[in-house]
Amino acid sequence: MKKVIIIGGGFAGVQLVRNLDPDLFEILLIDRLNHHQFQPLFYQVATSQLEPTSISFPLRKLFRNRKNMQIRLAGVLSVDPGAKTITTTIGDFSYDFLVIASGCKTNFFGNSNLEKYAYGLKTTYDAIKIRNNILQNFEALLSATEEEKEYLLNVVIVGAGPTGVELAGSFAEIKRKILPKDFSAADIKRIRIILLEGSPDTLGSMSELAKTASMTYLLAMGVEVVTGVFVKDYDGSTVLLNNGDTIKSRQVIWTAGVTGNLITGLNKEVLMGGNRIRVDRFNLVKGYSDIYAAGDIASMETPLYPKGHPQVANVAINQAKNLAKNLRALQSGEPMNPYEYTNLGSMATIGRNKAVVDLPFISFKGRLAWFTWMFLHLMLILSVRNKLIIFINWAWNYFTGDTSLRLILKDKD
């Protein structure tokens, strides 16, 4: 029985475990966290619409009935291809096949100040920190001086991709519907939701309809959208833009890029832009016979995607499923199938009854797009229980325009 080590319990790692034949492979899944995170809904945790447990799935529970499998909580430090071992924070492990599915982290583009002071949104913990900070700052408004209020009233989001747009729309709805009820003594109208984007458009990778509609929605909701600007620096209180303008803020959320979670030991020749690992059509890392990479960390050049596939859940899920089939085929001496992504479309929600959907054959917006977005995201949730919890939360929020999840959870001061 061949031993497969999988690094990472994200979409690719979980699907690979689910689809590998337990009679052919002994699996070791290694991750720093004990749970799978549903990243597309991080922004709803950050904006107090969902609790983190709704989108977090304990790995041991997911695979409790899986035979020939072990799970270890550890950080992977390096790989030794010659010895076919990996070094982790809890020791060394040997493998017959290694699959790197370590995903990505926030890319601050080498700016140490941004990394220190701005909030990324790549983990459930990041989302909780954003929620805590935003709610704490709203509380501080009640007793702040006029000078202090300048820093507390501005919520700055950098990057107008789907995550940035969804965050901005959610904060705008909170400002309009919830904060006036919770903080009647504060001047809520003075709160500014500022979305910064380096390109000319919001949702720049989507259709013209999506770009135009998302911009229209955001502006109508009171979001200040500033395009064609880049953040040069941030010291925890003042954002410096490349045009010389500054914005006072103690709450800057960075959604402007990602970079791969690299593991040392691989040849430098396999590293691509964004710290992705070059793989062939079978997810095999170039130059190796037993090391694979899948999901966001993998860069696979194909005729349809010569610069690599988009870093989205569907790619990770389907690469993992195809890799599981190919590893089985490799064991039985059967031909393997090359992978190609079938673009199922992209979507983003801006607020209640406001969303945009791009399908291969049509693009649309509005209420139908919003319900489509909700349905498809619910289908991706791993457990029936969590689907039900999320649906109830969404339904409650839809009919009442309110949530009851605005908890500040932190250590004692």
Q: Residue 175's domain is classified under what CATH number?
A: 3.50.50.100
| Mean pLDDT score, 226-242 | 96
Q: Which residues contact 43 (CB under 8 A, 6 or more apart)?
A: 121, 127, 163, 166, 167, 170
Single out the residue in 214, 237, 256 at which a domain terminates. Answer: 256
Does 115 have pLDDT greater than 90? yes
- The Cβ of residue 326 has, within 10 Å, a number of other Cβ atoms equal to 21
| Mean pLDDT of the 235-241 span | 96
If pLDDT is split at 50, 70 and 90, which confidence band does 403 have?
low
Mean pLDDT, residues 323-327: 96
Return the pLDDT at 207.
Answer: 94
If asked whether residues 138 and 251 sit together in one domain, one would say yes
**pLDDT of the residue at 142:** 85
Percent of the chain with pLDDT over 90: 74
- Per-residue confidence at 38, pLDDT binned at 50, 70, 90? very high
- 243 and 269, same domain (yes or no): no
Residue 396 inside a domain? The answer is no
Burial class (CB in 10 A: 0-12, 13-18, 19+), 231: buried
Please report the pLDDT score of residue 344 as a whole number: 83
**Alpha carbon distance 96, 109 (integer Å):** 35
Task: In whole angstroms, give the CA distance from residue 171 to residue 178.
Answer: 10
122 vs 186 pLDDT, higher one: 122
Confidence of residue 250 (pLDDT cuts 50, 70, 90): very high
> Based on the domain organization, do 200 and 277 belong to the same domain?
no
Domain boundary among 256, 288, 308: 256
Does residue 395 sit within a domain?
no
pLDDT of residue 402: 67
pLDDT at 412: 60
Q: Is residue 368 part of a domain?
A: no
Residue 325 has pLDDT above 90, yes or no: yes
Of the candidates 22, 38, 4, the residue with the CA atom closest to the CA atom of residue 294: 4
CA dist., res. 254 & res. 14, Å (int): 27
With respect to residue 251, please indicate whether it lies within any of the assigned structural domains: yes
- What value does the mean pLDDT take over residues 96-120? 95
What pLDDT does 404 receive? 57
In whole angstroms, what is the distance from residue 381 CA to residue 391 CA? 11
* Whether residue 100 is found in the same domain as residue 181: no
CA distance 406 to 47: 8
Instruction: Specify which residues 240 forms β-bridges with.
Output: 233, 246
| Residue keyed to tokens 């929600």 | 349
Domain that holds residue 12: 2-106+258-332
Mean of the pLDDT values across residues 215-237?
Answer: 96
Query: Taking residues 169-175, what's their average pLDDT?
Result: 92
pLDDT, mean of residues 9-24: 95
Residue 233 pLDDT exceeds 90: yes
Answer yes or no: is pLDDT of 407 > 80.
no
DSSP string, 236-287: SSEEEETTS-EEE-SEEEE-S-EEE---BTS-GGGB-GGGPEEE-TTSBBTT
pLDDT level of residue 202 (50, 70, 90 thresholds) = very high
> What's the domain count of the chain?
2
Supply the DSSP string of 100-120, one letter for each residue.
Answer: E---EEE--TT-HHHHHHSBP
Please give the pLDDT value at position 17: 97
pLDDT-derived band at 178 (thresholds 50, 70, 90) equals confident
Q: What is the mean pLDDT of the chain?
A: 92
What is the spatial distance between Cα 231 and Cα 256, in angstroms, rounded to a whole number?
Answer: 10
Is residue 276's pLDDT more than 90? yes
- C-alpha distances in angstroms, 220 versus 194, 216, 217, 400? 13, 6, 5, 21
The letter for the amino acid at 139 is: E
Give the chain's radius of gyration (CA, Å): 22
Written as six digits, the tokens of 96 are: 């017959």
Q: Is 300 exposed, middle or buried (0-12, 13-18, 19+ CB in 10 A)?
A: buried
What is the pTM for the complete model shown? 0.91
| For residues 197-206, average pLDDT | 94
Are residues 123 and 203 both part of a single domain?
yes
Please say which residue of 298, 332, 366 terminates a domain.
332
Mark whether 262 and 248 lie in a shared domain: no
> What is the predicted pLDDT for the residue at 162?
94
Query: Mean pLDDT, to the nearest integer, of 138-152?
Result: 89
